[in-house]
A and B are shown apart, each in its own frame.
Chain A
Amino acid sequence: MATIDNLDADIASLQARLATLHAHRTNLTSVLLSQPHLSTRLQAPASKPSSNTDPALLAITQQSTRNHSNIHRACAGVTAYKVRDPDPHAINDGAILGVSIDVALSGKFIETYHALLNWVESNNGSKTLRIHKHTIPPCIPLQALANKYLPTAGKNGDEEVQQDLVRFGRSLRKELVSWHLRVRAIDALRKEANLTAPKPEYTEPHKVLNAFTSDDEDEASSEAEEDDAPARILDIEANTAARQVMVTWSDRRTAMLSVSKDGRVEKAVCKMRDGARDAEMSRKALGPIGGLVKRLKA
């Protein structure tokens, strides 16, 4: 048995090594391909008419496009690109204008969102854009933004409409980034209150028994009721849009907070354990969301 285990361990470590080496190789490849003037240097000695099918050239162009687009995306945050809809019946032969929004938080790109637009040409030759497909989660008011910045003409199509793609992209990005910031702020609050981040067991959904959320903090709440120790925060929950936050204490006090998009607690209702309102606490809760836990403790 020991030998089999040994062999398994050996294989695992070799595979790990292989993976590192592969990663290293690909890294080196992209560095090499990104060398300036590489294509001209390659072409010169060969002296044959440059064919577009040359794999080396292909790889070089591919790498340089990637470098370009990455630099644009990293610097601009909102970038546009063209794609083709493979649907043979698509409007305008499937010409699609894509808008991609990169959300970066604390030095990392965390998510990319896309809005794919197609357009119809009206009688006077102006183009009106419409959202065709997108990957914006429903908690972002995309419809409202589209109505505001990308209005489409009514059924008769006579009236002139003013579309503003730039402001659309800008405000959409603002919504997305502020959403991510709020989510992150609430995570930070949970950490501050010494709550372990809830990691739902998405890995094996069929193995999870007792998936009912309410039974979770059962032990904690019953045990905390008895002792006279200072109440601690049992849970900080937020809805998907991170606009409503609910705080629960171990002594059964609760607070419902409504958060504005730029991350301020605008309204707060704190309740004592007997259900009466705690006006002073509610006043204290108002303010930027960052210091919420500190303010509530004070």
Chain B
Amino acid sequence: MATAPDNKNVPHSHRLPTTHREVQRTFTKLSRQSLVSLAQQWLSKKNRDFCKPYLLSDRNDAEDEDDEEIYEPAQSYEELQETYRELATRKGGRREVLDRILEGDWRTGISMYQLATAEIQYLLDHPNALRWTAKRLTKIANVRSAVTDMEVTNDSDHLPRFQAQTFMSNLARELTPLMKAHYLMTRIKTSPMTILRVYIHDSPYSTESSLAADTSSTDSAKAVFFVWPNGSPFVYSSLATLTGQVVGDDGRHLRDMVQQAIPKAFSRPSARYQLTSTNFTTKSLDALLTYRGPGKSNAATGGWSIFQDHSFSQNALDFITTQRGDGRDKVGAEKNTSNGVTKPGPGRPKRVAESTETPEAKRRKAVAAGRFGTSAQADDGQGLERFEVRIDDSFPSAEGRETVEGDTSNLEARTNTKTKKGRPSLLDRTAEDLEQIQSEEGWVPNVRVSFQGTHVFAGIRQLVEEGLVDGEKMPGWMTGEAGVTIGAVKEGRIRSKGGVPGI
């Protein structure tokens, strides 16, 4: 077969040998349950064309029948489906299914489609496996029709139109001259989003042999994930790294290439889009759906979360003001009391557990509930693992009421010495920022605060409840209400560009 460079995508049906590193890496991570369900999915009628298993009819007659064969090839698809159905009902080890897939039924190779679905399955099983950056598709203002752009009419559309087929063909048109890639786009039943996986094949060829060949090359990540939450202007992007894998410059560069192609694929004549940063990066997909998702929660995080569930505004026909029974959960009750919306009912029997708390601890809990609302619970699965701010306020003067702890004498020295290495941080001040700072009075040291942990805001909430952080004097950005993971603080508030938050 001639191997001339071509202008095609990598099709679903191209197969990788089962010993290929990507295959091994992906498949060994999956659970038994996931493997079985994947196999069943591959065997369903519409996927058979690109997930061909090794059947008895495939066996070459010339080939000697190997007696040491562990897995007898199946006669038909139906027989295989039955086998996996049986495996699904039975309990057993993960290895059993894994070996059956890789050494038995798909010994001739794992197709690109199979690899892609396996990787997406892993992502759904472990929603905190990757680090995601949320971006927004923003319309570039049209100079000529700036007025009509923002008009709200009966048939105006303010979100980019998302039509999977059109988008995919546009994206492929943008990318194929630059690289070969395999695309898989799928909607997810369990959460409101669409996933696109792009497997980057950095080669001028799109043949099967060239796919299998490049195992020897770099260890960098080959796949990029993009997630569109339904009905919102956001895009989350992530490089599919595995634990311990380094993101090489190559990988990052390829991801950027795909990322740049995305707004172009969305654009239509007279409606051009660009990707803008939303200052939000996290590992948790659930948190992303809360802070940059399709629902009501985007611009009502932190203490404002009481507005999105019904703890602040009951149904307009609900006239009951007293607590509803004692079986109601404690959180709900506390939340109500602290917001001054409903006071505890008279003579409400107190729980034993509550009465052991000192009044001071109870007050702190109430303060925390008032500041954090229903958000920042340690077990809500929406943990942000990193939150960074830069303080742009001038240093409190000597007569100021704030006392500065610690030795500040060498602060200036430290800020002046440029010992930092590596990539410039997003928090580095731009020339514009510096100019603005210099024009103000007072000394503005370069202070950055960074919070890290499994769930930063739940941690801060706990600190407030324990009395280590004063819940009443604590600035609002410490409750997570700004909805960013990186930001600059000015006059005690996270700076924003203006405009309506959260959309």
Inter-chain contact B159/A138, CB cutoff 8 Å: yes
- What is the number of contacts between chain A and chain B, taking CB atoms within 8 Å? 229
Q: Which residues of chain B (158-207) have a CB below 8 Å from chain A? A: 158-159, 161-163, 186-192
Given A30-B321, A112-B316, A240-B230, A205-B156 contact (CB < 8 Å) = no
Inter-chain contact B503/A26, CB cutoff 8 Å: no
Inter-chain contact B345/A205, CB cutoff 8 Å: no
Give the nearest-CB partner of B234 in chain A: A138
The answer to the question of B112 belonging to the interface, with a C-beta cut-off of 8 Å to chain A, is no
Inter-chain contact A86/B296, CB cutoff 8 Å: no
Inter-chain contact A137/B296, CB cutoff 8 Å: yes
**Contact among A70, A114, A213 with B319 in the assembled complex (CB-CB below 8 Å):** A70
Q: Which residues of chain B are near A213, meaning CB under 8 Å? A: 186-189
Q: Interface residue tally of chain B, by bracket? A: 35 or more
Q: Taking chain B's interface residues, is the majority helix, strand, or loop, or is none over half, making it mixed?
A: loop
**Contact among B45, B190, B319 with A67 in the assembled complex (CB-CB below 8 Å):** B319
Given A88-B492, A112-B310, A205-B191, A141-B152 contact (CB < 8 Å) = yes
Q: Which residues of chain A are near B481, meaning CB under 8 Å? A: 87, 133
Inter-chain contact A33/B152, CB cutoff 8 Å: no
Q: Which residues of chain B are near A34, meaning CB under 8 Å? A: 319
Interface hit among A6-14, A37-45, A51-59: A51-59
Inter-chain contact A143/B299, CB cutoff 8 Å: no
**Contact among B192, B325, B499 with A23 in the assembled complex (CB-CB below 8 Å):** B325
Q: Which residues of chain A are near B300, meaning CB under 8 Å? A: 114, 133-135
Inter-chain contact B152/A145, CB cutoff 8 Å: yes
Inter-chain contact A59/B322, CB cutoff 8 Å: yes
The answer to the question of B79 belonging to the interface, with a C-beta cut-off of 8 Å to chain A, is no
CA distance A55 to B304 in the complex (A): 28
Q: Which residues of chain B (344-359) have a CB below 8 Å from chain A? A: 345-347
Inter-chain contact A243/B322, CB cutoff 8 Å: no
Give the nearest-CB partner of A56 in chain B: B346
Q: Which residues of chain B (275-294) have a CB below 8 Å from chain A? A: 294
Cβ of A124 to closest chain B Cβ, rounded Å: 20
Inter-chain contact B189/A209, CB cutoff 8 Å: no
CA distance A89 to B154 in the complex (A): 40
Give the nearest-CB partner of A171 in chain B: B152
**Contact among A56, A59, A74, A211 with B188 in the assembled complex (CB-CB below 8 Å):** A211
Inter-chain contact A27/B316, CB cutoff 8 Å: no
A-B contact pairs, 6 of them (CB 8 A): A131-B299, A135-B300, A137-B232, A205-B190, A208-B190, A258-B155
The 7 closest A-B pairs by CB, nearest first: A240-B231, A89-B492, A87-B476, A55-B346, A209-B37, A22-B325, A141-B158
Interface residues of B (CB under 8 A from A): 33-34, 36-38, 40-41, 44-47, 117, 120-121, 124-125, 150-152, 154-159, 161-163, 186-192, 230-234, 294-300, 303-304, 307-308, 310, 312-313, 315-327, 342-343, 345-347, 370-371, 472-476, 479, 481, 491-493, 498-503
Interface residues of A (CB under 8 A from B): 18-19, 22-23, 26-27, 29-30, 33-34, 55-56, 58-59, 62-63, 66-67, 70, 73-74, 85-91, 100, 102, 104, 109, 112-114, 116, 130-139, 141-148, 152, 171, 175, 200-202, 205-206, 208-216, 218, 221-222, 239-241, 243-244, 258, 260-262, 266
